[in-house]
A and B are shown apart, each in its own frame.
Chain A
Amino acid sequence: MGKNYSWVKCLVLAIAIAGACPFSPALPWQAGEERMIADGAPGHAGGRLVVALRSEPKTLNPALAVDETSRDVIRCLTADLIHINRGSLKTEPSLAKSWKVSRDGRQYTLELRQGLHFSDGEPFTADDVIFSFQVYLDEKVDSSQRDLLVVGGKPIVVVKVDAYTVRFELAQPYAAAERLFDGLAILPRHLLESSYRNGSFSQVGSLSMAPNQFAGLGPFRWKEYVPGQHLVLERNPYYWKADHAGNRLPYLDAVVFLFVPSEDAQVIRFQSGDTDVLSRFSAENFVVLQKQQSVKGYHLDDLGSGLEYNFLFFNLNDLASKGLPEIAKKQAWFQDVRFRQAVSAAIDREGIVRLVYGGRAAPIWDQVTPGNKLWVDDKIAHPARSLEHARELLHSAGFFWNSGALLDAHGNPVEFSILTSSSNAQRMKMATIIQDDLSQLGMSVQLVPLEFHALVDRLQNSYNYEAAVMGLVSGDADPTSEMNVWLSSGETHLWHPNQDKPTTPWESEMDGLMQQQLVTLDYAKRKRLYDRVQEIVAEKLPVICLVSPNILVAAANRVGNFRPGILVPYALWNIEQLYVQ
């Protein structure tokens, strides 16, 4: 019976994906292969997992991919040296079985696993590591990972010690150095070196190339791509992880990525059983899915707040040369910290949590979300909404009221506009609630929903805006991933980016703290430094933090070992251990 069933399944698969069955079976372990034991419960081999992607991946080249869908696929195809465990948020060995840090914190010596093979059967050695970092650090390749690998203004130097030992030399101690390696895919030198040398590296990884032109150390390898429909990955028979029973992972025969362009469509496909796993969907759709949870054979997980923080901020740029006198005049309000504090005090964060997220979010008063347990500062006050306090603050800053409307000391009515991205329904709603909250202080606020690129252009280039509601998602729980936000010279220092030198004393203090935490190796000391950054943000309110949405995921009940985490990729980070029942 069981045999029959698997035959039928194979047939169904074959119809669904022409010629995709059978998939290559896992190979037996070879002598000297230094496998890694994964910590999940043992499952059983076979079957396929179907997942929807919001768009087609632009490229499968790990050095060039910038969009989230490309990275989602690349994560299945490749492996890194040191990995951040999405469950514990701590680093763990990956292709490097161990590493040593020199006493000054500037040298990392990594021992690589021996006897491993790429998905095409070629052996993996230190040469592949050297080659990969050469590519990532090459300015001509223009990889987005390069910035990460420049520490203290100098690129990391990678030295081959022997065939299975590599040393990384940093210009200065770097607290989060181990975490840098997460997601940095090791490239197959034997396949890519020639195209790198002859300058055609940018074409590597295009979806039109043949599957045998790329190989990785990830759990899956590329099988088939049908434009506009799907991408099929099959088991990498050489994968180097094993379960407790000693079976070679991954369990799945194949992963099928369907291209489903909108969130609503993805929810419907998941609801009808077309896909097995769903992540990145709204709290409203969570409620919709909940209704049929028991009937349809899937389950939903609310992982609590993730690393996304949404905030309101005012334009604090130096507009002298920008020819925007109207906005420059209003900056007299925005630059007054009491004004920002009054706005913060008037905002109904609980209301946002309830109305925008149906309760599936956490109110926040600084940038570190409750989900980031290693770094959240418990001493930050969580003042309740208080219009009285807001009025007192405004009064002390010289504002006054005339028949309900708020006027500044010169008698000008307080009117400004808040920009949001019109394609982000949650932020539109947040802004609508803030507008109503601030109208109770007598402020006349206008909402301007803009198409996303038009919005970014105003925020980053023309500075032609007064206030905006935005959100950022930290790439990692570690504060180092936030350097470009809190350094006054940073590009994502949204309220006043790319400063030559810090404008305000507190920005200068933040610069110092951020730089210092970067080179401090002791966690407790770093925590104190970053706590201080959080206190400054909560007090000076360069960004008025609002809420952090919960990470919501859903999976069919037949998917085993499903253990979602709050770091991207929320659901598929342990795809090698997922199995279907």
Chain B
Amino acid sequence: MKRQKKLVGALVLLSAFQGLILFAGFFAPYDFAAQDREQPFAAPSALHFVDRQGNVHIRPCVQNLEDPGPGAQGSRADSVRCYPLHFFVRGARYKIAGLFTSHVHLFSVEAPGHIFLMGSDAYGRDQLSRFLFGGQISMLAGLLAAILSVSIGIIVGGIAGFYGGWVDELLMRGGELFLALPWLYLLFAVRAALPLHISQWEVFLLLVSVMGLIGWARPARLIRGVVLSAKQRNFVVAARGFGASDAYLLRRHVLPQTYGVVITQITLLIPLYVLAEVTLTFLGLGVGEPMPSWGSQLSALQQYYVLSSYWWMFLPALLLIPLFLVFYTAADALQEIHQAVTL
């Protein structure tokens, strides 16, 4: 029962988060590419109920410097204006799940005011908006790539473990060879061979296939190990004695044993692939500017001046920690429930 609760809790949190990401356009106040060139590295906007002049506002507001216009003099404090928060406002156009176009945003402030709840990046782009939109690419790419690697892993590992002998040797040595390849240089070659113009959709597929194809060897080894022990268990041997075919044995008795490994592998690979995107972006294989991705948001932290001067650039990374923890929790609960059922 406790396990069920844990699972339900994790799943609720996960779906809430996925909902935020799916409807990123609605929850994000700005377009992910909109640059406010007057506001590079703006600190997160604080919401106030009482402004500097002491007036009380019912709506929370953000205090921004009013642009005094060219040549204007005066202290900065005088030109601070309170921009109240508005809900369900019209703003930049966006698409929901790539299908419906809309321009209603949950919240925003009137221009020239600006609200950056997670601060702004080097180009004055809203970090919150970029985080939400970036999740669309990173989550999906990570998930698909993880499923791809693990699927290849199941096929290769399952066959190798089940049949053993020279098949096993061939597949596993092949896998080791794959692990030993100098990937960085191969990816340079891949980039050089590709046309310069790649559409966003192609970039996405490329990202998924590169990450998925590189990563299959480790899950394949783990799954082979599980299959190797599973096929010698008494009920499998018995089923074979009753004349069950290889395909039936694999499907009905052996591969279900790998369930735990598969689930943990997928949940472990997703965060790994979010990080892998940093490298791929550096090689020109990732999603390019101005498309956001978690990988590109994290890569900003590689620079010393960002690390030492702008704490809010850590926020995307900090938000990812609970997200991945929820992922692990869900996987953990799934595996525990599965074990409880099978035992």
In the complex, chain B residues whose CB is within 8 Å of the CB of A264: 303-304
Contacts A264-B303, A288-B304 known; A454 to B37 CB distance under 8 Å? no
User: Which residue of chain B is the closest to A465 with respect to CB atoms?
Assistant: B196
Query: Would you list which residues of chain B between 30 and 76 have a CB under 8 Å from chain A?
Result: 33, 35, 37, 40
Q: How far is the CB of A325 from chain B (nearest CB, A)?
A: 12
| C-alpha spacing A45/B37, complex, angstroms | 50
| C-alpha spacing A488/B290, complex, angstroms | 35
In the complex, chain B residues whose CB is within 8 Å of the CB of A436: 33, 35, 123, 290
Contacts A432-B123, A454-B188 known; A449 to B281 CB distance under 8 Å? yes
| Contact between chains at A288 and B308 (CB < 8 Å) | yes
In the complex, per-residue mask of B8-41: 1 if CB is within 8 Å of any chain A CB, else 0: 0000000000000000000000000101010010
| Contact between chains at B290 and A432 (CB < 8 Å) | yes
Q: How far is the CB of B198 from chain A (nearest CB, A)?
A: 8
- The verdict on B316 contacting chain A, using a C-beta distance below 8 Å, is no
| Contact between chains at B191 and A287 (CB < 8 Å) | no
Query: Would you list which residues of chain B between 257 and 316 have a CB under 8 Å from chain A?
Result: 281-284, 288-290, 303-306, 308-309
- The verdict on A267 contacting chain B, using a C-beta distance below 8 Å, is yes
Query: Would you list which residues of chain B between 178 and 237 have a CB under 8 Å from chain A?
Result: 188, 191-192, 195-198
Contacts A354-B40, A432-B123, A435-B290 known; A464 to B305 CB distance under 8 Å? no
Q: How far is the CB of B184 from chain A (nearest CB, A)?
A: 9
In the complex, per-residue mask of A167-210: 1 if CB is within 8 Å of any chain B CB, else 0: 00000000000000000000000000000000000000000000
| Contact between chains at A285 and B35 (CB < 8 Å) | no
Of A348, A417, A436, most buried by chain B (CB within 10 Å of CB) is A436
| Contact between chains at B192 and A454 (CB < 8 Å) | yes
| Contact between chains at A435 and B289 (CB < 8 Å) | yes
In the complex, chain A residues whose CB is within 8 Å of the CB of B188: 451, 454
User: Which residue of chain A is the closest to B37 with respect to CB atoms?
Assistant: A351
Query: Would you list which residues of chain A between 285 and 318 have a CB under 8 Å from chain B?
Result: 285, 287-288, 291
| C-alpha spacing A433/B197, complex, angstroms | 19
Which of A285, A431, A448, A457 has a CB less than 8 Å from the CB of B284? A448
Q: How far is the CB of A442 from chain B (nearest CB, A)?
A: 15
Contacts A447-B288, A448-B196 known; A267 to B304 CB distance under 8 Å? yes
| Contact between chains at A454 and B191 (CB < 8 Å) | yes
| C-alpha spacing A447/B303, complex, angstroms | 21
In the complex, per-residue mask of A436-475: 1 if CB is within 8 Å of any chain B CB, else 0: 1001000000111111001001000000111000000000
In the complex, chain A residues whose CB is within 8 Å of the CB of B33: 436, 439
| C-alpha spacing A425/B303, complex, angstroms | 10
Contacts A355-B124, A449-B282, A450-B191 known; A268 to B304 CB distance under 8 Å? yes
- The verdict on B104 contacting chain A, using a C-beta distance below 8 Å, is no
| Contact between chains at B288 and A446 (CB < 8 Å) | yes
- The verdict on B122 contacting chain A, using a C-beta distance below 8 Å, is yes
| Contact between chains at A451 and B284 (CB < 8 Å) | yes
| Contact between chains at A466 and B196 (CB < 8 Å) | yes
Query: Would you list which residues of chain A between 252 and 294 have a CB under 8 Å from chain B?
Result: 264, 267-268, 282, 284-285, 287-288, 291
| C-alpha spacing A432/B281, complex, angstroms | 14
Interface size on A, residues (CB 8 A): 39
| Contact between chains at A450 and B284 (CB < 8 Å) | yes
Q: How far is the CB of A354 from chain B (nearest CB, A)?
A: 7
| C-alpha spacing A464/B192, complex, angstroms | 10
Q: How far is the CB of B5 from chain A (nearest CB, A)?
A: 46
User: Which residue of chain B is the closest to A352 with respect to CB atoms?
Assistant: B37
| C-alpha spacing A439/B35, complex, angstroms | 12
| Contact between chains at A417 and B196 (CB < 8 Å) | yes
Q: How far is the CB of A349 from chain B (nearest CB, A)?
A: 12
In the complex, chain A residues whose CB is within 8 Å of the CB of B289: 428, 431-432, 435, 447
| Contact between chains at B37 and A449 (CB < 8 Å) | no
Q: How far is the CB of A374 from chain B (nearest CB, A)?
A: 33
- The verdict on A552 contacting chain B, using a C-beta distance below 8 Å, is no
| Contact between chains at A449 and B305 (CB < 8 Å) | no
In the complex, chain B residues whose CB is within 8 Å of the CB of A284: 303, 305-306, 309
- The verdict on A422 contacting chain B, using a C-beta distance below 8 Å, is yes
In the complex, chain A residues whose CB is within 8 Å of the CB of B303: 264, 284, 425
| Contact between chains at A288 and B196 (CB < 8 Å) | no
- The verdict on A224 contacting chain B, using a C-beta distance below 8 Å, is no
| C-alpha spacing A340/B142, complex, angstroms | 40
| Contact between chains at A464 and B196 (CB < 8 Å) | yes
| Contact between chains at A282 and B35 (CB < 8 Å) | no
Which of B196, B304, B309 has a CB less than 8 Å from the CB of A419? B196
| C-alpha spacing A284/B191, complex, angstroms | 30
User: Which residue of chain B is the closest to A466 with respect to CB atoms?
Assistant: B196
| Contact between chains at B122 and A355 (CB < 8 Å) | yes
| Contact between chains at A433 and B281 (CB < 8 Å) | no
Which of B124, B195, B281, B309 has a CB less than 8 Å from the CB of A288? B309
In the complex, chain B residues whose CB is within 8 Å of the CB of A230: none
In the complex, chain B residues whose CB is within 8 Å of the CB of A348: 37
| C-alpha spacing A254/B199, complex, angstroms | 57
In the complex, chain A residues whose CB is within 8 Å of the CB of B284: 422, 448-451, 454
| Contact between chains at B122 and A288 (CB < 8 Å) | no
In the complex, chain A residues whose CB is within 8 Å of the CB of B191: 450-451, 454
| C-alpha spacing A439/B303, complex, angstroms | 28
User: Which residue of chain A is the closest to B307 with respect to CB atoms?
Assistant: A264
In the complex, chain A residues whose CB is within 8 Å of the CB of B198: 446
Q: How far is the CB of B70 from chain A (nearest CB, A)?
A: 12
- The verdict on A44 contacting chain B, using a C-beta distance below 8 Å, is no
In the complex, chain B residues whose CB is within 8 Å of the CB of A285: 304-305
User: Which residue of chain B is the closest to A450 with respect to CB atoms?
Assistant: B284
User: Which residue of chain B is the closest to A354 with respect to CB atoms?
Assistant: B37
In the complex, chain A residues whose CB is within 8 Å of the CB of B309: 284, 287-288, 291
Q: How far is the CB of B163 from chain A (nearest CB, A)?
A: 42
| Contact between chains at B197 and A282 (CB < 8 Å) | no
- The verdict on A429 contacting chain B, using a C-beta distance below 8 Å, is yes
- The verdict on A128 contacting chain B, using a C-beta distance below 8 Å, is no
| Contact between chains at B40 and A433 (CB < 8 Å) | no
- The verdict on A535 contacting chain B, using a C-beta distance below 8 Å, is no
In the complex, chain A residues whose CB is within 8 Å of the CB of B192: 454, 457
User: Which residue of chain B is the closest to A282 with respect to CB atoms?
Assistant: B305
Beyond A264-B303, A425-B303, A466-B196, 17 extra complex contacts between A and B, CB < 8 Å? A268-B304, A284-B309, A287-B305, A288-B304, A326-B197, A355-B37, A355-B40, A417-B196, A417-B197, A428-B289, A429-B122, A439-B33, A446-B196, A449-B284, A451-B191, A451-B283, A454-B188
Chain B interface (Cβ < 8 Å from any Cβ of A)? 33, 35, 37, 40, 122-124, 188, 191-192, 195-198, 281-284, 288-290, 303-306, 308-309
Question: What would be 24 A-B contacts, judged by CB atoms less than 8 Å apart?
Answer: A268-B304, A284-B303, A284-B309, A288-B304, A288-B305, A354-B40, A355-B37, A355-B122, A417-B196, A417-B197, A425-B303, A433-B35, A446-B196, A446-B197, A446-B198, A446-B288, A447-B289, A448-B196, A449-B288, A450-B191, A451-B191, A451-B284, A454-B191, A457-B192
